[in-house]
Amino acid sequence: MRRDPLQWETAGRSGRGRVRLLAERIAADPAPWSSIAELADCVALSARSFSRLFAAVTGMSPARFLERSRVALACALLEERCWLASAVARRAGFRNEERMRRAFHRVLGVSPRAYVNAAAARSAGTAWGPSILAASACALPRPTPTPR
């Protein structure tokens, strides 16, 4: 079992504190994370305990949080308009463009191409661009604060 640097940073923290720190890491760079078991291992919890605690801290399942984080990163990269869709998919942690397209439809209700077109329309000031972008979930998901 490899010891992740996150485990050293979270030593002595409560389960909620460890999960909150991991959620911040995922939101900042979702690409390297691949499984719930790997995430649970990083905070020294079983997969089941991790999933329950993660949902309590962030308000969503680890899988949904990871997907939304990946879509948010892909949105930011697509808005730069200097990346190929295949490169964006890999950088955001999707296995391929098709998985990214499906995630966009689940999270935003539009394809990556429609998102790029809406972003271009917004920057050009046309009417339909902002409605898609305003309704999108492309803001990085942040853990919800929990009362102490």
> Taking the CB of residue 20, how many other CB atoms lie within 10 A of it?
22
Alpha carbon 47 to chain centroid distance?
19
Each residue's pLDDT tens digit, 23-33: 999 999 999 99
pTM of the predicted model, to two decimals?
A: 0.78
* In CATH, 64-135 is 3.30.920.30: no
pLDDT at 77: 94
Burial 57-68, CB ≥16 within 10 A → b, else e: bbebebebbbbb
pLDDT at 4: 55
Q: Domain boundaries in the chain?
A: 5-59, 64-135
